[in-house]
């Protein structure tokens, strides 16, 4: 039986444990079930030019982690928030889209055209098992990030508008009407979010 690993990737994070230390709590929650592995690929980033300048290093960091688990024959599940969605797609392109069991993106601040991103071809080939996009309709940060101002810093519209040019049977969009950008990780919402991730 292949090992199963969940890799958690944060969004913009400018101090340790930001966003309620969701990546650390997610690792603990995941590993409470025997037979599953989890780790976080954490990085610090500010929302402006620093984001653009550091993306190359962030994608390589995630790519190294994915490669480590691929060498061990693991079923890999990627879970990312906000800017982490961009890091996921950058790392997968860098690795020429290796096999990934699932991708779950919460309020992803990245492009939404799966064909341009190369994601559609990976879906069609079966390299990516399933992608779930979680959208918060009260997402103030992504409202700004998906504007022309956000576009200057490389942000996209996936977490606001959902995907286009995707493979429908391999893509799910789940919306929360009353939630904001980081409410997935609040104490009262965390059990629901982890249930979504681990199902």
In this predicted model, what pLDDT tens digit does every residue of 67-83 receive, in sequence order? 999 999 999 999 999 98
How much of the chain, in percent, has pLDDT values that exceed 90?
61
The three-state DSSP-derived secondary structure of 66-116 is HHHHHHCCCEEEEEEECHHHHHHHHHHHHCCCCCECEEEEECCCCCCEHHH
CA dihedral 192, 193, 196, 197 (to 10 degrees): -140
- Which CATH superfamily does the domain covering 4-198 fall into? Alpha/Beta hydrolase fold, catalytic domain (3.40.50.1820)
Q: Are 107 and 146 in contact (CB under 8 A)?
A: no
Task: State yes or no: pLDDT of 4 exceeds 60.
Answer: yes
Which residue would you say has higher pLDDT here, 12 or 2? 2
Q: What is the pLDDT of residue 38?
A: 86
Q: Look at strands 75-81 and 102-106 and give their pairing.
A: parallel
Phi/psi region, residue 176 (left: phi>0; alpha: psi -120 to 50; beta: rest), is beta
Q: Residue 193, Cβ neighbours under 10 Å: how many?
A: 22
Q: Residue 148, Cβ neighbours under 10 Å: how many?
A: 6
CA distance 45 to 131: 25
CA distance 158 to 110: 6
Q: What is the pLDDT of residue 191?
A: 94
- Helix, strand, coil tally for the chain in percent (to 5): 45, 20, 35
In this predicted model, what pLDDT tens digit does every residue of 15-59 receive, in sequence order? 555 556 788 889 988 987 767 888 887 655 555 544 555 567 788
Q: What is the pLDDT of residue 152?
A: 62
CA distance 27 to 10: 12
Average pLDDT estimate for 117-132: 98
Highest mean pLDDT among 24-28, 125-129, 181-185: 125-129
Q: What is the pLDDT of residue 5?
A: 95
């Amino acid at each position: 039986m292949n090992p199963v690993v969940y890799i958690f990737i944060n969004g913009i994070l400018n101090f340790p444990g930001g966003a309620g230390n969701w990546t650390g709590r997610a690792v603990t929650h995941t590993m409470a079930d025997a037979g599953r592995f989890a780790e976080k690929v954490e990085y610090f980033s500010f929302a402006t030019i620093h984001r653009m300048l550091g993306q190359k290093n962030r994608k390589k960091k995630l790519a190294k982690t994915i490669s480590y688990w691929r060498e061990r024959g693991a079923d890999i599940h990627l879970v990312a928030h906000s800017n982490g969605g961009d890091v996921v797609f950058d790392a997968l392109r860098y690795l020429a889209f290796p096999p990934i069991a699932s991708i779950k993106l919460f309020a992803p601040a990245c492009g939404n055209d799966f064909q341009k991103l190369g994601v559609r071809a990976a879906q069609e080939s079966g390299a990516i098992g399933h992608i779930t996009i979680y959208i918060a309709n009260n997402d103030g940060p992504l409202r700004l990030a998906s504007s022309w101002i956000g576009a200057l810093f490389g942000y996209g519209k996936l977490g606001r508008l959902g995907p286009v040019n995707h493979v429908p049977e391999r893509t799910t969009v789940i919306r929360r009407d009353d939630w904001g950008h980081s409410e997935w990780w609040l104490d009262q919402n965390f059990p629901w979010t982890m249930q979504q991730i681990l199902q």
